[in-house]
Every structure is written in C-alpha cells, then in structure tokens.
Structure 1
Amino acid sequence: MSSDLCPTYAPFFGAMGCAVAIIFTNFGAAYGTAKSGVGIAAATVLRPDQIARNIVPVVMAGIISIYGLVVSVIIANGLYIDQTLYAGFIQLGAGLAVGLSGLAAGFAIGIVGDAGVRGTAQQPRLFMGMLLILILAEVLGLYGLIVAMLMNSRATGMGRCGTHGQLI
C-alpha cells in the first residue's frame, strides 16, 4: 500500500538525482578536459618546455567529476525502497545542484584553460592570472557540492514509510 506521502515511485527520484549528479559533472569535466587539451596541444607546439605547467586546467576539470561522484555515493547510500516522496525530491534536487554546477564549472574551466594556456605560451606572466580565474571557475562546482550535501542531509532525516504507507 502507498499513500500520497509514500508512493511506490518515490525512490525513482532519488535514483535520478544520483544519476544526474554523476552524468552532468562528468559532462562538464569531459568538456573542460577536451577544450583545455586542445589549447595545450596548440601551445606545446610553440613552447614544449611548458607542457607540465599547462596541465593545471585538465587536473582542475577532473576534480569536478569527483564532486559528482561524492554526491552520487551519498545519495545512493540514502536510497530506500520505502522512502518518502519528499526525500526523493530532495535527492533529485541535490543531484541537479551538483550536476549543473559541475557542468557550468567544466565549461568555464575549458574555455579559460584553452585561452589561458595559449596566452601563457606567448606571455609566461599570464600564468598566475589564468590560475586565479581557473580557481574561481572551480569554486562554482564546489558551491554545488556544498548545496547538494546540505540538501541531502535534509533528506536523510525525513523518516521512512511503514507497511501501510504511513511515516515511521
């Protein structure tokens, strides 16, 4: 039996939150890695001695996917077959928060990384400016991680449904 607060499809929303957290952050990380990698390849032709230093945007893009992985694991650990609809929606919102923030951060890191490593190849003094902008772009993903963890902490304290659809 189910009720309005405890429908049988409530865990679906939590599972979708788990999925979108990892999918969108990986899309952002992949875009950031690919876009920065193109810039690194172009800049290395001009300055092959700076390849190790120009790897920074790729590393920062990879960190974005770790945020999604952390939130996905946390949401997956909170999934129950008898959870409330409220908990499912909170888990979906948490996944969207980190996923879309990670997607935006990955786009920003890719664009800044591409232009930054190309500019650094021509003028090495631009490296610190590029690094600061990359840090600010990475923080966008970190904000999503923090919001997702705060939201998910609300979902875990909302109780579960009993055998007749009532909250316990």
Structure 2
Amino acid sequence: MSQALTFSDACPAYAPFFSTMGCAAATVFACFGAAYGTAKSGVGISVMGVMKPDLIMKCIIPVIMAGIIGIYGLIVSVICSGGIKARMLLSDAFIHLACGLSVGLAGLAAGVAIGIVGDAGVRGTAQQPKLYVGMILILIFAEVLGLYGLIVALILNTKAQNDDKLC
C-alpha cells in the first residue's frame, strides 16, 4: 500500500527540481571548464610537439590539471544527489543548487585559466625551458580556483538538513 505524498509551502512538489539542477550545474559547468582547458592546452602541446617532441610528456601537466576540474563537479553532483527525495525542504533544494553552481562556475573559470596558461606556457617552454617552473606555479594557482568552489560546495552541503520529519 503506497502512502500519498503531501506537500506544503516548506516542501513543495517542485523542490527536487532545484536539487537536480544543482547536480546538473555541477557536472556540466565543471566539465565545460575541463573540456576547454584540455582543448586549449592540447593545441599548445601539439604546436610545441612539432618544435620539441621530447617535451610532450613533460608538458602534459595542464591537460591533467584540467581533467581534475571535471572530477570536482562529479564529486559534488554525487554528494548532492544523495540528498534528493520526492519530498524535501525547499531550502535543501536551494542549497543543492548553490552547491552545484559554486563548484560548476568555479570549475569553468579554473578551466579557462588552465587552458590559457597551459597553451601559452607549453609554447613558451618549448622556446625557453626555464619557463616550465613558472608555468606549473601559475597552473597551480588556476587549479586552486576550482578547489575553492569544491570546498564551498561541501561546506554548503553540510548545511542541508535532509530531514524527512520536517516535510
């Protein structure tokens, strides 16, 4: 025997929509950033590989760092999806949306930064190998922007009550 769902102002029927949009935003925006960073850095590596093919494996770091941005979005999406229920507080749903936007948009920005720095950095490293350490440092600072979004999303998610008794 199934129990009929009851909804209130605090737990409207459309609340799970915002949670799922948070999960989608986390994955989509973070992967857009990762894809842009990978593509832009990959172009730089290809151009650099024509001049100095022995440096290709050394200069693959920007592509790896861009891929990590996508993982941040996936982590938050999986964590937030665990809190989605048929009846849930609207405040929890908005928290999940904020989590997704936080990590997603931070990941998008970090991916763009990694792509631009990676492209110019590997091309510059081909001409002057002393630039390699500087490129890595700048890439670390670009990567940490995505990490900030992940940290904010995880802190926000702890504020969700996820309590069935409140609905």
For this structure pair, what is the TM-score category when the shorter chain's length is used for normalisation?
Answer: over 0.9
- Of 27, 35, 44, the residue aligned with 2:32 is 27
Separation in 2, partners of 1:71, 1:6:
23
Do residues 45 (structure 1) and 50 (structure 2) align?
yes
Do residues 65 (structure 1) and 94 (structure 2) align?
no
Aligned partner of 1:160: which letter? D
Question: Offset at 1:2?
Answer: 1.8
Question: Offset at 1:71?
Answer: 0.3
Identity %: 64
Separation in 1, partners of 2:126, 2:73:
32
Do residues 5 (structure 1) and 24 (structure 2) align?
no
Question: Offset at 1:160?
Answer: 2.8
Runs of 4 or more above 6 Å deviation: none
Separation in 2, partners of 1:58, 1:44:
14
Give yes or no for contact 2:83–2:162 (8 Å, CA) kept in 1.
Answer: no
Question: Offset at 1:158?
Answer: 4.8
CA RMSD of aligned residues (A): 0.9
| TM-score, normalising length: structure 1 | 0.94
Tell me the secondary structure at the aligned position of residue 26 of structure 2. helix
Tell me the secondary structure at the aligned position of residue 5 of structure 1. coil
| TM-score, normalising length: structure 2 | 0.95
Aligned partner of 2:164: which letter? R
- Of 145, 153, 165, the residue aligned with 1:148 is 153
Separation in 1, partners of 2:102, 2:121:
28
